[in-house]
Amino acid sequence: MATSTTSKKPTAKDRLAAKQSVELLKGITDKATNKEELTFHIEGTNIKLPHHAIRLLEKVLEEMADGKSVAITSFAEELSTQEAADLLNVSRPHLVKLLESGKIPFKKVGAHRRVKLEDIKKYETALKETRRKTLEEITNEAQEMNMGY
């Protein structure tokens, strides 16, 4: 099951605070790259954060500093076909066709198909790479034909 949270568009004050925070945070994390977690002292309380959570926080702050709203979604390791389709921004019937054609592995639990999040990410990465290569080929052909690109 997916859970999600979305922030509002940051105000100018929020953007400035995010920019200052991410700069300070990067200064700390760049020095501590070999540590699995870092401890922050905030208003009298020590908070230990895993290194990957700090990198995620940095990314959120960077996006806020740029004035963007941020959405964070968590997914289970195994997804329903609807969750997988939503993640790929395709219809559920299209996803089922991808599963049945063998392009994305899945397993059946009773009458329901389950897809690993890892397999969805692999498919998405491969699809993006294929698109990039195709676009590069089209660009090269257009240049060879002196089409002004």
pLDDT computed for residue 3 by the predictor: 63
pLDDT computed for residue 66 by the predictor: 93
Report CA-CA distances (Å) from 103 to 100, 115, 119, 123.
8, 12, 10, 8
Residue pLDDT, tens place only, 59-75: 999 999 999 988 887 77
pTM: 0.55
Q: Which domains does the chain have, with CATH numbers?
A: 3-74 (no CATH), 78-144 (1.10.1660)
- Per-residue tokens: 133: 């290569």
Residues 25-44: what's their mean pLDDT? 80
pLDDT computed for residue 33 by the predictor: 65
